[in-house]
A = this chain, B = another copy of it.
Amino acid sequence: MESEWNFDQYIYMVINEDLMLPSREPVMLLDPDGRPTVDDTAALPAADDLLRGLAGMVTARRFNEQASVLVRQGRLAVYPSSYGQEACQVAAAQVLDDEDWLFPTYRDTAAAVTRGVDPVEVLGLLKGDWHSGYDPYERRVAPLATPLATQLPHAVGVAHAARLRGESTVVLAMCGDGATSEGDFHEALNFAAVFRVPVVFFVQNNQYAISVPLSRQTVAPSLAHKGVGYGVPGEQVDGNDLAALLHVLSAAVGRARAGEGPQLVEGRTYRMQAHTNADDATRYRGDDEVAAWAAKDPLLRLDAYLRGAGLLDDARAAAHADAAERLARHTRDGIAVDVVPDPEDLFRFVYSTPTPQLVEQLALVRDELSRDEPSREETPR
């Protein structure tokens, strides 16, 4: 009787059901001690890619540390650190070509930096100068998204526009485990699947949405299983294993580029620090849990493998550290520059041509500022 239904997609998908199901265990190529889980190391990404990845992670880690220091010094308003998630951050950027797009969240500053956006500009939002510090078109990195999951349909639209023009752009769109509960996640995956656009949805499952653990977010076998309901292949991968991430993500990007449509990749990782500096993680999780994850650090793991395989020596490691230090210094120096945002900017960008109402309001502010006397301060009282 099934044949009578005669809906092409059913016939197509019934055959492909198994292809959509993720592996039952996250893909891991290097174990927490840096030992390959595969017999043949040819199955690992090329040594150059791994070295580039390690360098990226060392820089990302240093960037995370630097930003946290800047918060403590009061130079940044807030910083949601990706400390511990550097493998995901670096892999997300590393698997993309220049023509591709990256859609990061507020936590994915290190990914944006890895893709080449100036770290000072990346931190603009968190410094409070302006809502977005960098030009999204320059490196094809969308603005850091704060409202959860809302950037995912944008990513689908960007990919569809590229496809309509016949470009081979792939879009990698990031979100957290918590964000997968939002309706926008659902709608984005479905649009991507129906229009078969080249988007790789990359969920960093760091086990928490602020204080809420994954068990309160979903009871699915994995977040990668969420692809099934859209006809989107899902895969889960050890998010602290850069080798596995490069392997899985670049395969996904490749399939997307080849016209096979969207993919969903879940990276299982851990948010090692509090949600932001404003958060107190001791209220909702124990030290043991954090310690267990510290043992799976993505940097140590890859470092161990590369040294063991004779691909990394102290000199090269020192060069990595140097590069990271240079970026940290650039960040520090740049953030130290006190930008006094131009009040007229309040009105300049709302519309391409300000409305008569905004012109009037700008005049009011100008007048107020010009009259600025000591007795009537500019701070709200």
Contacts and interface: CB of A to CB of B under 8 A. Distances in A.
A224 to B, nearest CB: 9
Contacts of A20: 221
A299 B266 CA distance: 46
Contacts of A127: none
A49 interface: no
Q: Most B CB atoms within 10 A — which of A12, A184, A221?
A: A221
A229 interface: yes
A220 interface: yes
Contacts of A230: 218-220
A229 B231 contact: no
B7 A25 contact: no
A368 interface: no
A17 B28 contact: no
A227 interface: yes
Contact of A193 (B186, B219, B227): B219
Contact of A8 (B12, B215, B221): B215
> By CB atoms of chain B within 10 A, which of A9, A14, A214, A219 has the most?
A219
From A5, A8, A28, A196, residue with most partner B Cβ within 10 Å: A5
Contacts of A227: 229
A34 B193 CA distance: 37
A10 interface: yes
Interface string A302-346: 000000000000000000000000000000000000000000000
A225 B231 CA distance: 9
A24 B15 CA distance: 10
Interface in A14-54: 14, 16-17, 20-21, 24-26, 28, 31-32
Contact of A10 (B182, B184, B185, B221): B221
A274 to B, nearest CB: 20
A292 interface: yes
Given A1-B31, A5-B268, A228-B228, A10 B222 contact: yes
Given A16-B221, A183-B186, A7 B229 contact: no
Contacts of A182: 183, 187
Contacts of A369: none
Contacts of A9: 214-215, 218-219
Contact of A14 (B190, B193, B221): B221
A294 interface: no
A361 interface: no
A4 B292 contact: yes
Contacts of A222: 10, 13
Across the A-B interface, give the 5 residue pairs with the lowest CB-CB distance, nearest first.
A183-B183, A186-B186, A226-B229, A219-B231, A13-B221
15 contacts: A7-B215, A9-B219, A10-B222, A13-B222, A17-B24, A181-B187, A183-B183, A193-B219, A194-B217, A194-B218, A218-B230, A218-B231, A219-B231, A225-B229, A226-B229
